[in-house]
Amino acid sequence: MRSIDTEDERIASLLVADDAELPFEGTRDLEVRLRDGRCFVLTVHTLEALEERLGGAPSFVATRLVVVRRMSDGALLHAVRSALDQGVERFGTLQAPIEE
């Protein structure tokens, strides 16, 4: 996991699961910890990954779909901010609080 500096007052931390030893298949999981204490995991897909999953099918159906044009820190941050603006609960999976 690596961290992205967000400079967003709503976000306590943004972590990206991008293990260099695993093959990149067009998706990344993000852990978004909010300053209000909630934590969400979002799975982000590239357009190319969705096209590959479509194959020859006429449609693709998925819940909690987050798409970026390319997998860059800027695009990931834009996606997270957009999800927050629209209600992150619609796009991410709420995680149980971590007992410290």
Q: Can you give the pTM of this predicted structure?
A: 0.87
Per residue in 10-54, pLDDT (tens digit) is: 999 999 998 878 778 899 999 999 999 999 999 999 999 999 989
- Is the sign of the CA dihedral 17, 65, 97, 32 positive or negative? positive
d(CA 23, CA 42): 19
Q: pLDDT tier at 99 (50, 70, 90 boundaries)? A: low
| pLDDT tens digits, one per residue of 51-96 | 998 999 999 888 888 999 999 999 999 999 999 999 999 999 999 8
Which amino acid does the sequence have at 45? Answer: H
